[in-house]
Amino acid sequence: MASVAGSVESRDVCIVGVARTPLGSFLGSLSSLPATKLGSIAIECALKRAGVHPSLVQEVFFGNVLSANLGQAPARQAALGAGIPNSVICTAINKVCASGMKATMIAAQTIKFGINDVVVAGGMESMSNVPKYLTTGRTGSRLGHDTIIDGMLKDGLWDVYNDFGMGVCAELCADQHNITREEQDSYAIQSFERGRAAQSSGAFSWEIVPVEIPGGRGKSSTIIDKDDGLEKFDASRLRKLRPSFKEKGGSVTAGNASIISDGAAALVLVSGTFAVKHGLKVIAKIRGYADAAQAPELFTTAPAIAIPKAISDSGLKASNIDFYEINEAFSVVALANQRLLNIDPGRLNVHGGAVSLGHPLGCSGARILVTLLGVLRQKNGKFGVAGICNGGGGASAVVVELVDDEGAATVARSAL
Catalytic center residues: 97, 359, 389
**E strand or H helix at 3:** strand 3-5
Range list of β-strands (E), 88-160? 89-93, 118-126, 132-134, 148-150, 158-159
- With a CB cutoff of 8 Å and minimum separation 6, the contacts of 294 are 301, 302, 305, 393
- Residue 48: phi and psi, rounded to 5, are -65, -45
Q: Which amino acid is at 246?
A: K
Find residue 148's DSSP bridge partners. 134
Q: Are 270 and 12 in contact (CB under 8 A)?
A: no
Distance, CA of 404 to CA of 401 (rounded, Å): 9
Q: What does the alpha-carbon distance between residue 37 and residue 30 come to, in Å, rounded to a whole number? A: 10
Apex 48 CA angle, 45 and 53, nearest 5 = 125
Q: Which residues of 265-282 are buried (b: 16+ CB within 10 A; e: fewer)?
A: bbbbbbbbbbbbebebbb
Which residue, 286, 319, 355, is CA-closest to 110?
286
Task: Give the torsion through C-alpha atoms of 19, 24, 29, 32, to 10 deg.
Answer: 80
Q: Please report which helix (H) or strand (E) contains residue 337, including its range.
A: helix 331-341
DSSP 350-374: BTB-TTTS---HHHHHHHHHHHHHH
Phi, psi at residue 376, to the nearest 5°?
Answer: -60, -40
Q: How far is CA 185 from the centre of its chain?
A: 23
Classify the C-alpha dihedral 403-352-334-261 as positive or negative.
negative
Provide CB contacts within 8 A for 126, sequence distance 6+: 30, 31, 33, 34, 35, 38, 66, 262, 360
**Displacement of CA 137 from its chain's centroid (Å):** 34
